[in-house]
Amino acid sequence: MKAWAKRVVLFGVDGAGTFFEQTPTPNMDRIFKNGAVSRRTLTEMPTISAECWGSMLHGVDCRRHGLTNWATGKRPYPVDSPYPSVFRVIREQRPNAELASFCDWNNVNFGIIEDGLGVYKYHAKDYDLVEPAIEYINTHDFTMLYFHFDSVDHEGHAHGYGTPEHLAMISKNDEYIGKIVSAIEKRGWLEDTLILVEADHGGTPPDANGR
């Protein structure tokens, strides 16, 4: 990739932690073959979704942005906060930038990314985000796309982190990411697009008693 990027794509895989390395992810392996990878980076403490995504998207720790799972579902993030999201930073620097957020967990669109920025926000389950995202890529020369996939965390809560169900869903998310990246590649944009895949947190695998 060139030393600079015209576009940024951030894939957020909720609840994946460091479990990526325990299940097949051929698309991510291809994408990051010549890229930078860290398997032991702690996003935030406490390791809770809103605190973590808030810190990643706003660039400050949770003591400053103040986001919690409860707060992000109840009130929009203030547009005049001294800790703006990356979307607000881009908008202030590039008024005509095409920005979009495709989220399973709508708290991100509602309570973490500010309103009034002209960000295209789409909410659906993971599997229903892919085709609308590809349509958007085919019709917009974007500056930044953000994705929040939530099904991995659901499987972790339901069956345990590191279980076959949890790991299988990480592989399924890898398929989603592969399809979206292929759409970018078909547009001829892969060489000048920065692609990031991040987890907010992981979870403790079940013990011998299934707890």
pLDDT at res. 15: 92
Distance between CA atoms of residues 57 and 59, nearest Å: 6
Work out the mean pLDDT of the chain and round it to a whole number: 92
Predicted pLDDT at 82: 96
Q: Is the pLDDT of residue 111 over 50?
A: yes
**Model pLDDT, residue 1:** 45
Between 120 and 211, whose confidence is greater?
120
pLDDT for residue 173 is more than 80: yes
Handedness of CA 21, 41, 165, 131 (dihedral sign): negative
% of the chain with per-residue pLDDT over 70: 97
Per-residue pLDDT at 80: 94
How much is the pTM? 0.92
Q: Half-sphere exposure of residue 203, counting CA atoms within 13 Å on the CB side?
A: 23
For the ranges 43-57, 113-127, 132-146, the lowest mean pLDDT is seen at 43-57
Q: Give whole-number Cα distances, 172 to 36, 45, 85, 179, 204, in Å.
A: 22, 28, 29, 11, 21
Please state the rounded mean pLDDT for residues 35-55. 87
Inform me whether the pLDDT recorded for 2 exceeds 60. Answer: no
Q: Mean pLDDT, to the nearest integer, of 118-144?
A: 97
Type of residue found at 101: S
